[in-house]
Amino acid sequence: MSSLRSLDENLISHIPPFRKLERVDIREILDAATPKRFSAGQAIFEEHEPAERFFLLLDGHVRVIRTTAAGDQVIARHIVSGELMGIAPAIGRTTYPASAVAIDDCLVLFWPTNLWQTFVAKYDGFATETYKTVGERISEANNHILELATQQVEQRVARALLRLAIQSHRDTEEGMEIDFPLTRQNISEMTGTTLYTVSRLLSAWEKQGIVTSGRKKVVVTDLGKLKTLADLDPMGDS
Amino acid sequence: MSSLRSLDENLISHIPPFRKLERVDIREILDAATPKRFSAGQAIFEEHEPAERFFLLLDGHVRVIRTTAAGDQVIARHIVSGELMGIAPAIGRTTYPASAVAIDDCLVLFWPTNLWQTFVAKYDGFATETYKTVGERISEANNHILELATQQVEQRVARALLRLAIQSHRDTEEGMEIDFPLTRQNISEMTGTTLYTVSRLLSAWEKQGIVTSGRKKVVVTDLGKLKTLADLDPMGDS
DNA sequence: CGAATAGGTTGTTCTAGCACAAACTTCGCC
DNA sequence: GGCGAAGTTTGTGCTAGAACAACCTATTCG
């Protein structure tokens, strides 16, 4: 039984892995999908859980998190609408490698994992496009490693903010506002530092007019300066 | 023209991506392969270079390296015999994401990138197995991020050594010797620290009977103790 | 509306580990 | 067989940033 009225084809027809497909194919894919809403804070899937489904985020923002034995959390990435997630089957895993949590209210579509093979086999371009996604995520991960291994905290935080601002912002009079709730703690979990250090950095940047920030909110007011901080800052501004 | 006598099927028949294949298929694959030797220190491929070939390491050890704009190097992983490398095509890349350098004398087989599609389409199990490899590398990368973000240098170095010792060792009277040349500098590039700190750690561990080390050589003499250091050491041994 | 809670700031202290320097050892090679 | 290069060790600062503490300020919710 379809949980809602039949889903609109335009929902996914423009999204990379589906872009090249025929209307009929899209129809088929949508008919096999289950839509589901998650409210802010809800877990979409958990690390180590058997990967029984793969997901497409249609609306909202999702945080992908890993937790160490010692209890520290690390934010691996943020998923924005139009992205696939939980695509463990693509990489021969039977278990999710991380947890996904809805940051704000989210709308997702999901399919049972066993359909993955079918999609890959049946829909031309789907495999190529999703493997490209996988490739991008590997690159991201490797860049993250490079950063953690070679850069100072300030640069790492600047880069993290820059990426978020570019990936998912809303334009306001003040500047580019990161369009989902983001705490100092969150930023520290993305960059391998502490919330205190992030707070100090943001305060300093606010004085220099690079950002404006509030409770769970960050606005980049001077993208250029932030970029300078992110690219190996030639010299520390006084 | 085949560069050498025809290659022996046993060379690759036991290697995961090829294991499930028929003799005929293996024959075909080998006939399409070019064997090549690299001597210690030689580059096999370079970051950013167009990915015109993908490789299988038959013998020797390879280091996968990334370099930052500032000139710092990071060792992403070590490849041991039987592993594929330069599999950029698998993840929709047209360019190598890192450089590969022969650590000791190496024997590799390579194929032109355009054959990748053929392999995936034609040889059953090849796709699945290689995507599993990709998956493992993603996991590795993510673990590396977790470590860099949350662990102390001592633990990271212990883990790096542990991994190497398990992945590629030779048993000696002293213990498990990492079976390729490895300097303090190399270890520091794997763990995001300095060669000085690594040297001090190894010296300390040598006194505690955990390792023995020499020029470009590390032998793990007490695997148990090293594991303790690697898993969040409950308390620092005096 | 008022208390509880989540999030943020800022001061102070302290240390892991980086930076630099200098000397030593091992190895390969002319 | 001795010189030079590459690799290693160890000492001495020194500082980025973690840890902890205390306090402040929005939000939320009964």
pLDDT in tens, B51-77: 999 999 999 999 999 999 888 999 999
Question: B126-150 and A126-150 helices cross at what angle (nearest 10)?
Answer: 30
| A32, A34, A126, B190 from A18: Cα distances, Å | 14, 17, 6, 39
Q: Give the model confidence (pLDDT) of B84-104 as tens digits.
A: 999 998 999 999 999 999 999
Residues 12-51 of B with CB under 8 A from A: none
A97 touches strand D (CB under 7 A): no
Nearest residue, CA→C1' of C18: B194
Contact A150 B66 (CB under 8 A): no
Same domain, residue pair A161 and A114: no
Same domain, residue pair A214 and A117: no
**Residue linked to tokens 């049972």:** A112
pLDDT at residue B237 tops 50: no
B203 touches strand D (CB under 7 A): yes
Residue A178 resides in a domain:
yes
pLDDT at residue B238 tops 50: no
* Arithmetic mean of pLDDT over chain B: 92
pLDDT at residue A179 tops 50: yes
Same domain, residue pair B110 and B139: yes
pLDDT at residue B37 tops 80: yes
- pLDDT class of A231 with cuts at 50, 70, 90: confident
Q: Using CA atoms, how far apart are residues B139 and A178, in angstroms rounded to an integer? A: 28
Contact B135 A69 (CB under 8 A): no
Domain end, chosen from B93, B115, B147, is at B147
- CATH number reported for the structural domain that contains residue B186 in this entry: 1.10.10.10
Q: Give the model confidence (pLDDT) of A87-141 as tens digits.
A: 998 999 999 999 999 999 999 999 999 999 999 999 988 998 999 999 999 999 9
Mean pLDDT confidence for B28-37: 94
- Whole-number percent of chain B with pLDDT over 90: 84
Domain end, chosen from A124, A147, A170, is at A147
pLDDT at residue B1 tops 50: no
What's residue B41's pLDDT?
93
Contact B150 A76 (CB under 8 A): no
What's residue B2's pLDDT?
44
For B135, how many CA atoms within 13 A lie in the half-sphere containing its CB? 19
Q: What are the φ and ψ backbone dihedral angles of A167, each rounded to 5 degrees? A: -70, -35
Query: With an 8 Å Cβ cutoff, is A137 touching chain B?
Result: yes
Same domain, residue pair B112 and B179: no
pLDDT at residue A237 tops 80: no
- pLDDT class of B171 with cuts at 50, 70, 90: very high
Query: With an 8 Å Cβ cutoff, is A70 touching chain B?
Result: yes
Domain end, chosen from B96, B129, B147, is at B147
Same domain, residue pair B80 and B194: no
**What positions of strand C are covered by protein, i.e. any atom < 7 Å from a CB?**
7-11, 16-21, 25-27
Q: Residue A185, CA: closest nucleotide via C1'?
A: C7
Mean pLDDT confidence for A164-172: 95
A152 touches strand D (CB under 7 A): yes
What's residue A4's pLDDT?
52
- CATH number reported for the structural domain that contains residue A90 in this entry: 2.60.120.10
Mean pLDDT confidence for A68-91: 93
pLDDT at residue B203 tops 70: yes
The minimum CA-CA distance between A147 and chain B, rounded to whole Å, is 9
Query: With an 8 Å Cβ cutoff, is A235 touching chain B?
Result: no
Mean pLDDT confidence for B229-237: 59
What's residue B232's pLDDT?
61
Q: Using CA atoms, how far apart are residues A233 and A155, in angstroms rounded to an integer? A: 8
Same domain, residue pair B143 and B159: no
Nearest in space to B227 (alpha carbons), one of B176, B174, B173: B176
Residue A72 resides in a domain:
yes
| 185-224 of chain A touching strand D, CB 7 A cut-off | 192-194, 196-197, 214-215
Q: Using CA atoms, how far apart are residues A74 and A59, in angstroms rounded to an integer? A: 23
Sheet holding B106-112, edge to edge: B34-38, B106-112, B53-59, B84-85
Q: Using CA atoms, how far apart are residues B223 and B238, in angstroms rounded to an integer? A: 19
Mean pLDDT confidence for A77-83: 96
Residue B235 resides in a domain:
no
B81 touches strand C (CB under 7 A): no
Q: Give the model confidence (pLDDT) of A1-59 as tens digits.
A: 444 567 788 889 999 899 989 999 999 999 999 999 999 999 999 999 999 999 999 99
What's residue B69's pLDDT?
87
Mean pLDDT confidence for A185-201: 97
Q: Which residue has the higher pLDDT, A234 or B161?
A: B161
Same domain, residue pair B138 and B162: no
What's residue A11's pLDDT?
85
Same domain, residue pair B42 and B127: yes
Give the global pTM: 0.93
- Whole-number percent of chain A with pLDDT over 90: 83
Nearest in space to A103 (alpha carbons), one of A144, A84, A75, A130: A75
Same domain, residue pair B98 and B79: yes
What's residue A197's pLDDT?
98
Mean pLDDT confidence for B219-234: 86
How far does Cα B167 stand from its chain's mean position?
A: 9
Residue B93 resides in a domain:
yes
pLDDT at residue B6 tops 80: no
For B183, how many CA atoms within 13 A lie in the half-sphere containing its CB? 9
Same domain, residue pair A22 and A88: yes
pLDDT at residue B235 tops 50: no
Residue A22 resides in a domain:
yes
Strand blocks (E) in chain A: 34-38, 43-45, 53-59, 61-67, 73-80, 84-85, 99-102, 106-112, 169-171, 176-178, 211-214, 217-220
Mean pLDDT confidence for B208-220: 95
Determine which of A148, A157, A193, A233 to mutate to test the interface with B (most B C-beta atoms within 10 Å).
Answer: A148
Residue B33 resides in a domain:
yes
Q: Are A106 and A37 in contact (CB under 8 A)?
A: yes
CA angle A33, A35, A39 (to 5 degrees): 150
Q: Residue B204, CA: closest nucleotide via C1'?
A: D9
- Whole-number percent of chain B with pLDDT over 70: 95
**Residue linked to tokens 């502490």:** A194
Domain span at residue A222 reads 151-230
Chain A residue with minimal CA distance to B92? Answer: A132
Determine which of A48, A64, A73, A91 to mutate to test the interface with B (most B C-beta atoms within 10 Å).
Answer: A91
Same domain, residue pair B143 and B156: no
CB pairs under 8 A between A and B: 101
Chain A residue with minimal CA distance to B117? Answer: A128
Residue A16 resides in a domain:
yes
Give the count of domains, chain B: 2
Same domain, residue pair A142 and A156: no
Residue B237 resides in a domain:
no
